[in-house]
Amino acid sequence: MKKKISLLICMLVAVLSFTGCSSTKTEVEYDEAEVEQVTEFLIGYCVEMDDATLEQWQNMTDFALEQQLTNAGLPFTPESFLGALESWEAGVDECGEYIEHGDYTYEASSDELKVTTDAKYADRDASIEFVFDENLYLDSMTVNAKFTMGEILKKAGLNTLLGMGTVFVVLIFISILISLFKYIPAIQAAFAKKPKKAEADVKKAAPVPAAPKAAPAPAATDDAELVAVISAAIAASEGTTTDGFVVRSIKRRRSNKWN
């Protein structure tokens, strides 16, 4: 019984060991000579390239570019090749003219191969890094400038100063904006008064209708006519003529009622 249990344990350990080994991916296999030939070709081409050549490659269609690379037997994709050319140009702008580079170091993993070399430029040193995929096709090439500790601290200080300056500017702007809030009620009141003032101006400007003219008072009766009428009335009541008396004056009483 003990022998059977021991046998089962040994079989289980063997199965687990085999499973673990089969699940572990091996590193990318490569030939240093072939990889170095590709990297040397790319560096040499970048050194000899001018702006017109770079523009020609950039204006080429992806299909035409891929055909060119395939016919040349180069393990590049259109994206990686153009990216390498542009990265080289950026490195030259930052580090100066390329002079030389040293030996290569290789670092392989399960899905990529990283090749690095130290390069010397006119203004500063740099490292050139190539990354190949598991099929040894170029993924990227970058030129990384090497800065001194003083330059790194200077850049860090400038970045810190720029960040803090931006924050302070924004805070000052916000504080100014908040301080202007006290004028908002006055502005609103001013805008509210404008319609009322405009209405008052319209009423003021409207022409006032003229008052109707009073009817003219009837003309006063002529005193001679009134004397003649009164004389005739008296003569008729007395049974005489108007020759027997003379009306000297006519006085009106305050009351218009007859007694």
Residue 132 contacts residue 111 (beta carbons within 8 Å): no
Low-confidence ranges of the chain (pLDDT < 50): 1-5, 7-9, 12-16, 18-23, 217-220, 258-259
Q: Three-class SS of residue 248? A: coil
pLDDT of residue 220: 44
pLDDT of residue 231: 76
What is the spatial distance between Cα 185 and Cα 196, in angstroms, rounded to a whole number? Answer: 17
**Tokens 């070399």 belong to residue:** 117
DSSP string, 102-148: EEEEEEE-SSEEEEEEEEEESS-EEEEEEEEETTS-EEEEEEEE---
Structure tokens at 128: 């050139």
DSSP 255: -
Alpha carbon distances (Å) from 23 to 16, 19, 109, 179: 11, 6, 15, 67
